[in-house]
Amino acid sequence: MADCLFCRIVSKKIPADVVAESPEALAFRDINPQAPVHVLVIPKEHIAGVLDLDKGRSETLSEMMSMAQDVARKEGIDRTGFRLVFNCGADAGQAVDHLHLHCLGKRALAWPPG
């Protein structure tokens, strides 16, 4: 989608600090990090959000989870702990309508979240 921010990152029209890439998914550092490690994992294909991730897309989700595991290991938060978050819709504060998995760590994360 030409007007989607994360599609533009996938097509390299907007620069990003990429930490992992596969044919199906991309991981890059959040521009406004909420923790010392804050990486976004996205599918390269445009999927608007969690509610658009139907059963036929289970491989996409599996690829994203696999990449999140790689990111956790690379960033050294696999042992200390980390949080994976999908914001979905207005109440969760979803700002970008391209599916993305937040991967946060390297500090103690409060629970419940705000």
Measure the CA–CA gap between 106 and 49, rounded to whole angstroms. Answer: 26
Query: Which of 92, 85, 52 lies closest to 68 in space, CA to CA?
Result: 85
Query: 37 to 96, contacts with ligand AMP by CB under 6 A?
Result: 40, 87, 93-96
Q: Which one, 15 or 79, has the nearer CB to ligand AMP? A: 15
Active site residue 100: yes
Reduce the DSSP state of residue 63 to 3 states and report it: helix
* Residue tagged 């139907």 (tokens): 54
4 is a site residue for Zn ion (CB under 5 A): yes
Give the angle 97-9-27 at the CA atoms, nearest 5°. Answer: 85
Pick from 98, 99, 101, 103 the residue near Zn ion by CB under 5 A: 98
Q: Which one, 11 or 79, has the nearer CB to ligand AMP? A: 11
The site for Zn ion (CB under 5 A) is made up of 1, 4, 6-7, 46, 98
